[in-house]
Structure 1
């Protein structure tokens, strides 16, 4: 392997890792309910979207952007994801890949996780930062 090939390989491995760490740091700074929603969406995406380091990094960075703006604006989680969180995630992922097959059980879990993050069914209201 030439030096140029090694350099290209290393940048492919290290680049996405740095971007992933930066994304995770951004998510950690979100208010709890937004962070919970992003983590639920992230978990769903990890299971059902084909892996492509570059497009996945962009996808997660855009997800963080979306929820950071929503947190600043005080946008309720359901205004972001709509009534069907699984449909939102599938449409979101289509911008970055061909998507994947999502079983009904996974869709249900994502919906329940978003409901919990939005405060529905937990006895607490959606507490957005305004």
Structure 2
């Protein structure tokens, strides 16, 4: 990863944050809770993947349709997030798989 990649990544992240800040306050609160939960539970491809920008796209569509954020995702933010990442490998799963293998086979 070169310096240009780092700079480009920062530009993309700042554009992403600007999109989040353009959402109504209730959407911003829910997005931040979702982000906190996802960073804790962690699908492996979260930092580079399409999940967070996809959530912002979904929220922007909800705002355009005049819906409240809880109409879109329901009352349980964690359950909604779990549904989003159900097919994605998480760091916990990768760790468990590495621990359940034969001694000395992890990393091969």
Normalising by the residue count of structure 1, what TM-score does the alignment of the two structures yield?
Answer: 0.59
Cα deviation, residue 11, structure 1:
4.3
Per-residue CA deviations over 1:41-74 (Å, capped at 9, x if unaligned) read 111111111443321xx21111110111111111
Q: Which residue of 2 aligns with 1:37?
A: 30
8 Å CA contact 1:81–1:88 kept in 2: the answer is yes
Cα deviation, residue 80, structure 1:
1.5
Q: Gaps (5+ residues) in structure 2?
A: 93-108
Q: Does 1:47 pair with 2:40?
A: yes
Structure 2 CA distance for aligned equivalents of residues 51 and 13 of structure 1: 19
Cα distance change, pair 37–85 in 1 and its aligned pair in 2 (3 A): same
- Out of 1, 7, 10, the position equivalent to 1:14 is 7
Cα distance change, pair 61–81 in 1 and its aligned pair in 2 (3 A): same
Q: Does 1:28 pair with 2:21?
A: yes
Q: Relative to total residues, which structure has the larger helix share, 1 or 2? A: 1
Normalising by the residue count of structure 2, what TM-score does the alignment of the two structures yield?
Answer: 0.69
Q: Does 1:98 pair with 2:89?
A: yes
8 Å CA contact 2:42–2:90 kept in 1: the answer is yes
Q: Gaps (5+ residues) in structure 1?
A: 1-7, 102-130
* RMSD value, Cα: 2.1
Moved more, 11-20 or 27-36: 11-20
8 Å CA contact 2:44–2:89 kept in 1: the answer is no
